[in-house]
């Protein structure tokens, strides 16, 4: 049985094509403006990686912001549910998932059966998301990866008071003007994101047992992961490919529904 | 609750409500033109029976704000206040009210403006900001403002003292109004007004309770606008008839097995002031997910159920003191828990209003409280009273979809597998 999950995010589109229980390949492209085209392309690429074609796929489930623009998907499902299904598959002891994507962040609480029992999303602004780090990195003239490296070298983390992405830019410029070391600014920016996300995680009542899993593109940023782990006083597990967990969950949902109609 | 065969059309009572509202505003405009009565602008739970007993034309800027929101006109008024330098995060009922006032005074074409007031009455039991809003109105319109101070009913505060304090102020209000109008206050008329109010209140609360039936004959969003008559017109005897006819209509639905929409799956609680501009979006979205909103503590804001013609002044003071928003958070949480039990609710949607902090601040506590007490799922959505710039359809849609998916997967029949 070959199925696929496609996750059309605000910045990146991801697909997982799953064969049998555990054989899978993934693909990832910037979302751009033609959602249908990118959805088709990302699924085709993942299928090819697996040595198959688009037509070999028996069922596709779409998720993410662009899920309604995927006419070839049999079903759509919210990214929170797909993320939960995906993370629980990899880590059956996962009880809290923190997902930080391009323009949103989410916290999900699972019960022992992997069902969503509580969740929260960031409000209508980019504070506490990947976009915040991108804008900050651009303002400092470094890449996001360099920003994380700078942060780790800081000896004097300063506080960025602006949680708003736009105002943070102004604050960074004024910090540069005051000759604040880049490392300290970078550390302050990471702290700012983590402070927002930590509030989000606490709002779901994360408890103090079970594995905490972090997914989404920002999970690749180890400075964020370790700061959040410190704040939560818990270890955080990052899957090998944190960006495709939601698409993987969508593929699992597709698999569970093959032949259900 | 399973799929039902008979789907109800719009309640006939909605048409009657539309006429009651239109007639009210038409009458207010005529009164302004003729000058036959003084006009007072008041707040939701001020001792308004006193005004009706004195034959004032009584108008409610908060209800007007909701109308402007629902008619997608509030942004015009909000923009005017922002242009004057009021900040974006200020309560948008307030911004709407000040904006329409400024537009009216400056000839800027407000949306169906309330006829200008001769007097303002404010009670701070609904909100900690509202007195400041009314102060501004008083300055802009250059008319007197009367303030009724309503201490919170919280543990440790002797309730008798609070009621006595309010009753004393009602006495002061009566003396002021006698001087203002040159008329003697008529206590017999007050008794009649309170009697009409008590019958209206009983009709209103009985009508709301019809949704205890499973399946519910109406969605909460269908019932919710019917708070208007009990808020604005309860001094009139015909308002009780409105609720009697409405209850009759809902009873017929129950008898005939008629439900508001197809595929109703979940009985869900709503908390918070509705996002007036997004009612259509929310209704459609919730219906598409099989979510039937059954009731809300918001209904209780308009109950005025202590009205008693045998004790007119005392009961008016009690309605003012015991107004739902004047109660402490624990009371609200317990009241909400009881609603879940009485209405057999399985989950809750909490509608956080970004510019209404006094109302919204309690939501996390209440959502958490019922979740822990009853093991039910809650979700908090974010938006605003009348300003759609605080609302994101996509994000709200995802939250509601996830909420419905979680409700589905948590059903015992689904078993151990997630899907």
pLDDT digits (tens, 9 = 90+) for A43-56: 999 999 999 999 99
**CA nearest neighbour of A249 among A14, A71, A10:** A14
Burial class (CB in 10 A: 0-12, 13-18, 19+), A125: middle
**CA nearest neighbour of B319 among B148, B183, B187:** B148
Residues A117, B377: C-beta atoms closer than 8 Å: yes
Distance of CA B6 to the CA centre of its chain: 30
Between residues B5 and A7, which one has the greater pLDDT?
Answer: A7
pLDDT category at B395 given cuts 50, 70, 90 is confident
In Å, how far is B395's CA from the nearest CA of chain A? 8
**What is the average pLDDT across A177-188?**
89
Interface confidence, given as ipTM, is 0.84
Please report the pLDDT score of residue A127 as a whole number. 67
Burial class (CB in 10 A: 0-12, 13-18, 19+), B256: exposed
Q: Is the pLDDT of residue B319 over 50?
A: yes
pTM for the model stands at: 0.90
pLDDT category at A158 given cuts 50, 70, 90 is confident
Please say whether the beta carbons of B92 and B359 come within 8 A. Answer: no
- State the maximum Cα–Cα separation within chain B, in Å, rounded to a whole number: 75
Which of A9, A91, A103, A124 would best serve as a mutation to test chain B binding (most B beta carbons within 10 A)?
Answer: A124
Tell me the C-alpha distance between B254 and B42, whole Å. Answer: 38
Residue labelled with tokens 């701070």: B124
Which residue does chain B place closest to A67, by CA atoms? B398
A–B: how many Cβ contacts below 8 A?
62
High-pLDDT (> 90) share of chain B, %: 91
Domains of chain B in sequence order: 22-188 (3.40.50.11890)
Residue labelled with tokens 């057999």: B344
Q: Is the pLDDT of residue B411 over 80?
A: no
Residue A16: both structure tokens together: 């997982």
Domains of chain A in sequence order: 2-80+245-257 (3.30.420.40), 92-238 (3.30.420.40)
- Contact residues on chain A for B419, CB-CB shorter than 8 A: 85, 252-253, 256-257
Tell me the C-alpha distance between A238 and A235, whole Å. Answer: 10
Q: Is the pLDDT of residue A193 over 80?
A: yes
Residues A124, B410: C-beta atoms closer than 8 Å: no
High-pLDDT (> 90) share of chain A, %: 61
In Å, how far is A112's CA from the nearest CA of chain B? 10
High-pLDDT (> 70) share of chain B, %: 97
Residues B394, A116: C-beta atoms closer than 8 Å: no
**What is the average pLDDT across B182-195?**
98
Q: How far is CA B208 from CA A6, A150, B1, in A?
A: 44, 60, 20
With an 8 Å Cβ cutoff, the interface of chain B facing chain A consists of 354, 364, 368, 371, 377-380, 382, 390-392, 394-395, 398-399, 401-402, 405-406, 409-410, 416-419
Please say whether the beta carbons of A87 and A93 come within 8 A. Answer: no
**What is the average pLDDT across B203-224?**
96
Please say whether the beta carbons of B47 and B166 come within 8 A. Answer: yes
Which secondary structure element, helix H or strand E, spans residue B271, and what is its range?
A: strand B266-271
Burial A26-46 (b: 16+ CB within 10 A, else e): bbbeebeeebeebbbbbbbbb
Residues A115, B409: C-beta atoms closer than 8 Å: yes
**What is the CB neighbour count within 10 angstroms for residue B280?**
10
Residues A80, B382: C-beta atoms closer than 8 Å: no
Tell me the C-alpha distance between B23 and B14, whole Å. Answer: 14
- Contact residues on chain B for A124, CB-CB shorter than 8 A: 382, 390-392, 395
In Å, how far is B332's CA from the nearest CA of chain A? 20
Please report the pLDDT score of residue A259 as a whole number. 73
> Of the candidates B402, B409, B419, which has its C-beta nearest A119's C-beta?
B402
Please report the pLDDT score of residue A35 as a whole number. 94
Q: Is the pLDDT of residue A197 over 70?
A: yes
Q: Is the pLDDT of residue B3 over 70?
A: no
Tell me the C-alpha distance between B358 and B127, whole Å. Answer: 6
Which secondary structure element, helix H or strand E, spans residue A12, and what is its range?
A: strand A12-19
SS3 B151: coil
Please report the pLDDT score of residue B417 as a whole number. 39
pLDDT digits (tens, 9 = 90+) for B257-277: 999 998 999 999 999 999 999
Which residue does chain A place closest to B380, by CA atoms? A120
**What is the average pLDDT across B392-402?**
92
Which residue does chain A place closest to B400, by CA atoms? A78
Residue B241: both structure tokens together: 């008839």
pLDDT category at A261 given cuts 50, 70, 90 is low
- Contact residues on chain B for A79, CB-CB shorter than 8 A: 398
Please report the pLDDT score of residue A124 as a whole number. 61
Please say whether the beta carbons of B303 and B322 come within 8 A. Answer: no
């Amino acid at each position: 049985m070959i199925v696929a999950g496609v996750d059309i995010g605000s910045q990146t589109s991801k697909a997982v094509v799953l064969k049998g229980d555990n054989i899978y390949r993934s693909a990832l492209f910037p979302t751009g403006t033609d959602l249908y085209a990118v959805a088709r392309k990302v699924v085709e690429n993942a299928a090819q990686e697996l040595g198959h074609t688009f037509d070999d796929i028996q069922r596709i489930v779409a998720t993410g912001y662009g899920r309604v623009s995927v006419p070839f998907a049999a079903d759509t499902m919210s990214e929170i549910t797909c993320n939960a299904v995906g993370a629980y598959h990899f880590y059956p002891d996962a009880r809290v998932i923190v997902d930080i994507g391009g323009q949103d962040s989410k916290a999900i609480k699972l019960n022992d059966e992997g069902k969503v029992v509580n969740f929260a999303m960031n409000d209508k602004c980019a504070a506490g998301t990947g976009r915040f780090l991108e804008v900050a990195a651009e303002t400092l003239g470094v890449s996001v990866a360099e920003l994380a490296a700078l942060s780790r070298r800081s000896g004097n983390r300063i506080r960025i008071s602006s949680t708003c992405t736009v105002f943070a830019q102004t604050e960074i410029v004024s910090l540069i003007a005051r000759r604040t070391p880049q490392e300290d600014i970078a550390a302050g920016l990471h702290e700012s994101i983590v402070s927002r996300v930590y509030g989000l995680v606490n709002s779901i009542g994360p408890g103090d047992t079970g594995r905490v899993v972090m997914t989404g593109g920002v999970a690749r940023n180890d400075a964020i992961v370790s700061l959040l782990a410190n704040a939560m006083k818990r270890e955080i597990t990052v899957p090998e490919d944190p960006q495709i967990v939601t698409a993987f969950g969508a593929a699992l949902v597709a698999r569970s529904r093959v032949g259900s109609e | 609750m399973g799929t039902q065969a008979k789907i109800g059309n719009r309640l006939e009572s909605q048409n009657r409500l539309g006429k009651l509202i239109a007639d009210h505003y038409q009458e207010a405009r005529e009164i302004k033109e003729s000058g036959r009565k003084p006009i007072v602008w008041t707040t939701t739970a001020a001792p308004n029976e006193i005004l009706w007993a004195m034959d004032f034309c009584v108008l409610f800027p908060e209800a007007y704000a909701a109308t402007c929101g629902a008619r997608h006109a509030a942004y015009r008024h909000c923009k005017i206040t922002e242009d004057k330098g009021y900040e974006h995060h200020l309560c948008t009922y307030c911004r709407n009210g000040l904006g329409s006032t400024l537009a009216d005074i400056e000839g800027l074409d407000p949306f169906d403006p309330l006829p200008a007031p001769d007097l303002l009455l404010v009670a701070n039991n609904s909100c900690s900001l509202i007195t400041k809003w009314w102060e501004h109105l008083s300055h802009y319109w250059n008319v007197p403002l009367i303030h009724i101070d309503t201490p919170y009913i919280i543990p440790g505060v002797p309730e008798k003292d609070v009621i006595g304090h309010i009753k004393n102020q009602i006495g002061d209000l009566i003396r002021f109004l006698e001087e203002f109008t040159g008329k003697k206050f008529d206590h017999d008329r007050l008794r009649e007004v309170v009697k009409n109010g008590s019958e209206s209140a009983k009709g209103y609360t009985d009508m709301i309770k019809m949704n205890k039936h499973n399946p519910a004959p109406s969605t909460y969003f269908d019932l919710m606008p019917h708070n208007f008559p009990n808020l604005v017109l309860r001094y009139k005897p015909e308002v009780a008839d409105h609720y009697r006819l409405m209850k009759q209509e809902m009873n017929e639905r129950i008898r005939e097995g008629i439900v508001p929409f197809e595929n109703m799956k979940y009985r869900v609680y709503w908390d918070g002031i509705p996002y007036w501009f997004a009612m259509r979006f929310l209704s459609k979205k919730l219906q598409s997910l099989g979510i039937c909103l059954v009731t809300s503590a918001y209904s209780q804001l308009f109950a005025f159920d202590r009205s008693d013609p045998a004790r007119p002044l005392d009961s008016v003071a009690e309605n003012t003191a015991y107004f739902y928003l004047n109660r402490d958070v624990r009371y609200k949480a317990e009241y909400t828990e009881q609603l879940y039990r009485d209405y057999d609710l399985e989950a809750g949607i909490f509608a956080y209003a970004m510019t209404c902090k006094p109302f919204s601040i309690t939501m996390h506590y209440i959502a958490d409280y019922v979740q822990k007490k009853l093991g039910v799922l809650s979700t908090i959505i974010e938006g605003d009273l009348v300003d759609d710039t605080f609302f994101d359809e996509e994000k709200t849609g995802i939250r509601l979809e996830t909420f419905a998916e979680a409700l589905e997967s948590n059903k015992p029949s689904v078993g151990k597998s997630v899907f």
